[in-house]
């Protein structure tokens, strides 16, 4: 058995930070798990970083299932959570149960994440949690609402900050085991983190959350564009282009293969 949601909740009480990153395939999931990442998220951001779409909206449940199964095969210790994609859970509670059930049954991942803290999504989170499906909430900037919100920071006004705080509290009361806080002021994230009994996982939400998540492609310098809050620890695009150029040159100069590479 790997990590459980209960263990992650106890880490909040102990003040032990939670490390989360995204993955969309077996190879990277295995690397992240071996490196000791605690939560591996099969994020719907894969629509943009792996599939080349403009937004996260086009990715389908079947595509998420395909990637989640690959990720799950690479992971021994981390808790794996899969984003429910746009319109796979908003139509009705039974649609959400069906989608989340397929994710758990067909891929073996341990939880799902869904965006939003409005009354309908709270009801959905409560029902999924009640039937034993661990749910991670997600408030602040919710990219599935890009056409309403854009990618701007959320919670700048007093009223918006109040709303995001009450959504986070309500998600926790509905049974979510953790909540992602995306692109909100650090002050607001700190207040939410203090008020919630469950871990907050921040992305562009300052340093006082219980954990941090990034899109792995951003951390590695692999994405074409990254949000202003994402830190690159490597420039993998440059490294890959360099290696491909070296190979190309050796092929064109008939230097590869050498006799021991036949």
Ligand X SMILES: Nc1nc(=O)c2c([nH]1)NC[C@@H]1CN(c3ccc(C(=O)N[C@@H](CCC(=O)O)C(=O)O)cc3)CN21
Ligand Y SMILES: CC(C)C(=O)C(=O)O
**The pair of three-digit structure tokens given for residue 206, joined into one six-digit string:** 């300052």
The span from the CA of 158 to the CA of 92, in Å, is 31
What is the footprint of Mg ion within residues 17-56 (CB under 5 A)?
43-44
What is the C-alpha separation between 25 and 32, in angstroms, rounded?
11
Please confirm, yes or no, whether 91 is among the known catalytic residues. Answer: no
| Residues making up the binding site for 3-methyl-2-oxobutanoate | 44-45, 83, 113
Q: Which residues participate in the annotated binding site?
A: 44-45, 83, 113, 115
**How far is Cα 194 from Cα 212, in angstroms, rounded to an integer?**
16
- Name the DSSP letter for residue 15: T
Which sign does the torsion angle of CA 42, 45, 47, 48 carry?
negative
How far from chain centre, in Å, is Cα 212?
10
Say how far apart CA 74 and CA 78 lie, in whole Å: 10
Q: DSSP secondary-structure letter at 50? A: T
Report in angstroms how near the CB of residue 256 gets to ligand X at its nearest.
33
235: DSSP letter: -
Binding residues among 162-181 for ligand Y as defined by CB under 6 A: 180
The residue within the footprint of ligand X, chosen from 37, 41, 49, 209 (CB under 6 A), is 49
- Write down the least CB distance from residue 1 to ligand X, Å: 30
- 165: region left, alpha or beta (phi > 0 left; psi from -120 to 50 alpha): alpha
Establish if 101 lies at the interface with ligand X (CB under 6 A): no
Q: Are 177 and 128 in contact (CB under 8 A)?
A: no
Q: Which does 171 bind (CB under 5 to 8 A by kind): ligand Y, ligand X, Mg ion, none?
A: none
CB neighbour class for 25 (10 Å; exposed up to 12, middle 13-18, buried from 19): middle
Overall residue count recorded for the chain in this entry: 262
Asked if 9 is part of the footprint of ligand X (rule: CB under 6 A), the reply reads: no
150 makes contact, choosing from Mg ion, ligand X, ligand Y, none, with CB < 5 to 8 Å by partner type, with ligand X
Residue 48 touches ligand X, criterion: CB under 6 A: yes
Q: Residue from 83, 182, 210, 218 that binds Mg ion (CB under 5 A)? A: 83
Rounded least distance, CB 45 to Mg ion, Å? 5
The radius of gyration of the chain from alpha carbons, rounded to an integer in Å, stands at: 19
* Options 37-45, 166-174, 192-200, 229-237: segment touching ligand Y (CB under 6 A): 37-45
Tell whether residue 38 is a contact of ligand Y (CB under 6 A). no
- Stretch of residues binding ligand Y (CB under 6 A), selected from 27-35, 41-49, 149-157, 158-166: 41-49
152 binds, among ligand Y, Mg ion, ligand X, none (CB under 5 to 8 A by kind): ligand X
Active-site entry in 106, 162, 182, 224: 182
Shortest separation between residue 144's beta carbon and ligand X, angstroms:
9
Check binding of 203 to ligand Y (CB under 6 A).
yes
From Mg ion, ligand X, ligand Y, none, interface partner of 216 (C-beta below 5 to 8 A by class): none
Q: Which residues belong to the active site? A: 182
């Amino acid at each position: 058995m790997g990590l459980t949601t209960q263990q992650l909740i106890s880490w909040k009480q102990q003040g032990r930070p939670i490390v989360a990153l995204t993955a969309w395939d077996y190879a990277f999931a295995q690397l992240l798990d071996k490196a000791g990442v605690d939560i591996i998220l099969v994020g719907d951001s894969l629509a943009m970083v792996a599939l080349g779409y403009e937004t996260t909206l086009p990715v389908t449940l079947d595509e998420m299932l395909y990637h989640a199964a690959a990720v799950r095969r690479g992971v021994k210790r981390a808790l794996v959570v899969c984003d429910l994609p746009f319109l796979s859970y908003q139509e009705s509670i039974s649609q959400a149960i069906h989608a989340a059930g397929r994710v758990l049954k067909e891929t073996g991942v341990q939880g799902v994440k869904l965006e939003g803290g409005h009354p309908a999504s709270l009801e959905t989170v409560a029902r999924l949690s009640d039937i034993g499906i661990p749910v991670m909430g997600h408030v602040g900037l919710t990219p599935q609402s890009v056409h309403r919100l854009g990618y701007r920071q959320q919670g700048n006004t007093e009223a918006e900050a109040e709303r995001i705080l009450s959504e986070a509290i309500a998600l926790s009361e509905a049974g979510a085991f953790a909540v992602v806080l995306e692109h909100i002021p650090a002050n607001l994230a700190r207040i939410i983190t203090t008020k919630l009994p469950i871990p907050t996982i921040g992305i562009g939400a300052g340093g006082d959350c219980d954990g941090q998540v990034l899109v792995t492609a951003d951390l590695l310098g692999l994405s074409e564009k990254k949000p202003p809050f994402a830190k690159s620890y490597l420039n993998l695009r440059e490294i890959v282009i360099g290696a491909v150029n070296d190979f190309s040159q050796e092929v064109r100069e008939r230097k590869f293969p050498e006799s021991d590479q036949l």
